[in-house]
Amino acid sequence: MRDESEVLAAEREFFSSLTKSNLPVLERLLCDDFSLVDLSGAILDRSSLLAIIESGQLRFEVIQQIESAVWFYQSIAVVTGRTEMSGRFGGTPFAAKSRYTHVYAEQEGRWQLAAAQGTPILAE
């Protein structure tokens, strides 16, 4: 059985790097062919996500992980979870609750985020 602690550590590092706009950590964590389906349904590749964060157009102030679960499939880990977040997009404040799926690939001895998808939680 695989140890999920390394994958969950990568998850925490990913969310932390988003709130700190830490591009070097994001660059290390994201696979070259990373793809994100955001809460609006838009698809962003790695360079688009990094650019929007670097420009300051997207700023996360808080991302709180509420829950998460990990499944392993050989060198792939799938994480599902729930978050509550707030920040600014283009200067406009936002707050959102979401459920997400993250797909990690183990490459060269470390976990990298290959794909991410978020779905807004409209009512609980």
Distance CA 103, CA 20 (A): 22
Domain of 26 in residue numbering reads as: 5-120
Mean pLDDT of 52-72: 96
Percentage of the chain surpassing pLDDT 90?
91
Q: What is the band of 94 on the pLDDT scale with cuts at 50, 70, 90? A: very high
CATH number, residue 84: 3.10.450.50
pTM, 2 dp: 0.93
Distance CA 47, CA 15 (A): 17
Predicted confidence at residue 108, as pLDDT, reads: 86
Rounded to 10 degrees, what is the CA torsion of 13, 17, 22, 28? 40
124 with 99: CB under 8 angstroms? no
Give 91's contacts (C-beta < 8 A, 6+ positions apart): none
In one-letter notation, the amino acid at residue 121 is I
In one-letter notation, the amino acid at residue 26 is L
Q: How many domains does the chain have?
A: 1
Mean pLDDT of 108-112: 93
Q: What is the band of 2 on the pLDDT scale with cuts at 50, 70, 90? A: confident
